[in-house]
A and B are shown apart, each in its own frame.
Chain A
Amino acid sequence: MANERYQLNKELAQMLKGGVIMDVTTPEQAKIAEAAGACAVMALERIPADIRAAGGVSRMSDPNMIKGIQEAVSIPVMAKCRIGHFVEAQVLEAIEIDYIDESEVLSPADNVYHIDKTKFKVPFVCGARDLGEALRRINEGASMIRTKGEPGTGDVVQAVTHMRMMNREIKRLVTMREDELFNEAKELQVPYELVKYVHDKGKLPVVNFAAGGVATPADAALMMQLGAEGVFVGSGIFKSGNPEKRANAIVKTVTNFTDAKMIAELSENLGEAMVGINEDEIQVLMAERGK
């Protein structure tokens, strides 16, 4: 039964593929996101750029605020809990969230342990910088993976680095002799069965999205061409000059991510992109949280 639930949760992620999941902080923003074609929304009190600006401890959002967003839209609603904070996850499950993001964007609640996600009925998405992190999260019960990137920066460089790293490591696993996989499982700190799956299939056992620093249609297409199956856009939309138009353009770009002519048209006159901070200008590297 637990197995079947996990299967259904992986399958919901399959339904999100080819889509854009947008961070929203109010029911109004959620409606704008849905109207722009988002395939899901991430409900949170502050988007990553503002979390950076405000500093301090950032936690799960007010359940009442999340409920308001659930009532405002018909698409799946996701919400974040802190790494290792299984009670925040229990609360989100109690309000029937469609997906929990155990997220490095919030302040970690545990410096060692992630949540045992196999104990939950609702699905989890987790961030990863490389194959080892991805498989460890999957082993803990994550049914969807996203790159960590560097959230709230508008700088795509980390998302690119993480996606390339994951692709490279998957290819390396595929080319290995079968007798080398046992040691690889040890190196990656994951069960042999997961390593074997990647070796045989040449991909992760769950859907893999890009996240963390996507700000323009071209950024989104870049991540799709690098192999992402969909894109999370956090601060990039509602921190820009014309959120509605930018959201629309990114949704269409993700569908036609190889059509440079269309992306050119969609990139015209979008207004100001989020200002952005370079990776070396920031004080907190969120991607370092939870390995």
Chain B
Amino acid sequence: MRIGVLALQGAFAEHIFVLKKLGIETVELRKKSNLDMSLDGLVLPGGESTTQGKLLRELGMYDTIKEWIQKGIPVFATCAGMILLAEDISNDERSYFRTLPVTVKRNAYGRQLGSFRCMEDFKGIGKIPMTFIRAPYIEDVGKDVEVMAEVDGNIVAVRYGKQLALSFHPELDDSRLIYEYFIEEIVNVNR
């Protein structure tokens, strides 16, 4: 199994660290020539969506990755990654892959003083730690989007087909349960 991790900017090294611990081969995707290979899954890490989205387009990676997602490659997106997938962003005119039929609000908890950590239920897993850093949340979901977690009435995790998107950062916490869920329930059933 080989998972590609978008490595344009942000906390990609943290995802790679966890995946390696789970015995999974990873590759960093930094430029167009990195996309000439077959991958079993894709991680879109946290960071700044404006930076990542711009680099995706200008480094010529956008079309290929969008096609992969549309064809059903398993995707694990956290924070900025969720913004890249969202069909609509309520407080930003920019948009990126638009493969996930949800409306996302960027920096929904405000500035850094609004960042927080909590323990909440994740559907099918139970209580897990959730770390929100200048995080977005989902305001509205389209048809067939499954809500996986809510915090204070706001949607913070969804699954839509092979796309799993989270507002928070499992790569920063010790729990590996969401990674195992992604690998077992989304990647492995695909192969």
Point out residues on A near B: beta carbons under 8 Å: 4, 7-9, 11-12, 14-19, 34-40, 70, 74-76, 93, 96-99, 121-123, 248, 251-252, 254-256, 259, 262
Contacts and interface: CB of A to CB of B under 8 A. Distances in A.
Given A40-B48, A99-B112, A121-B113, 4 more contacts: A11-B115, A15-B10, A36-B54, A74-B106
Interface of B: 7-14, 30-31, 46-48, 50-51, 54-55, 58-59, 79-80, 91-92, 106-107, 110-113, 115-117, 131, 133-134, 169, 172
Contacts of B14: 14
A19 B51 contact: yes
A15 B116 contact: no
A16 B80 CA distance: 12
Majority SS of interface residues in chain B? loop
7 contacts: A12-B133, A15-B10, A37-B55, A76-B112, A97-B111, A99-B112, A121-B113
Contacts, number: 112
B169 A39 contact: no
B50 A37 contact: yes
B55 A12 contact: no
B112 A18 contact: no
Contact of A11 (B51, B58, B59, B169): B169
Contacts of A35: 54
A2 to B, nearest CB: 13
A19 B10 contact: yes
Contacts of B13: 17
Contacts of B55: 37, 251-252, 255
Nearest to B132: A8
Nearest to B34: A256
Minimum-distance CB pairs A-B, first 4: A18-B9, A98-B112, A39-B48, A37-B54
Nearest to A9: B112
A96 B113 contact: yes
Nearest to B172: A11
Contact of A15 (B8, B31, B47): B47
Contacts of B113: 93, 96, 121-122
A190 B110 CA distance: 35
Given A15-B133, A98-B111, A74 B50 contact: yes
A255 B47 contact: no
A11 to B, nearest CB: 5
Contacts of A4: 117
Contacts of A121: 113
B46 A15 contact: yes
Given A74-B106, A122-B113, A256-B30, A15 B58 contact: no
Contact of A39 (B47, B58, B115): B47
Contacts of A37: 9, 50-51, 54-55
Given A39-B9, A255-B8, A12 B134 contact: yes
A96 B115 CA distance: 12
Given A8-B116, A96-B113, A121-B113, A39 B51 contact: yes
A93 B112 CA distance: 10
A18 B12 contact: yes
A11 B31 contact: no
Nearest to A10: B172
Contacts of A248: 58
B31 A256 contact: yes
A96 B111 CA distance: 7
A164 B172 CA distance: 28
Contacts of B107: 74
